[in-house]
Structure 1
């Protein structure tokens, strides 16, 4: 759980840095892109779950 918090803090820091330097965001800038990444993660997790079973 602590590593998830570190990841979130690092992501916020990178986002702030990119915004301050006026660089384009290094991630999907629409909810569809974010949901696509979430879908890839969930698909990978589901297959892993059934392979262990």
Structure 2
């Protein structure tokens, strides 16, 4: 839970600073960005699952 809290806090600070300096946010649109992150995570889990049974 500590990692999740630190990640959220870091993201909020970065978002605040980018908006403060009027810089474009270095992420795709919200829904596409979330889908991409979830996809990367699921891909990792599928690989771990497959490699577990491969042994």
User: What TM-score does the superposition give when structure 1 sets the normalisation length?
Assistant: 0.78
Q: Unpaired segments of 5 or more residues in structure 2?
A: none
Q: CA RMSD in A?
A: 1.5
Matched, 1:3 2:8: no
User: What TM-score does the superposition give when structure 2 sets the normalisation length?
Assistant: 0.76
Task: Return the offset for 1:19.
Answer: 0.6
The structure number with the bigger radius of gyration is 2
Please identify runs of 4+ aligned residues in structure 1 that moved more than 3 A. none
Q: Unpaired segments of 5 or more residues in structure 1?
A: none
Task: Count the aligned residue pairs.
Answer: 53
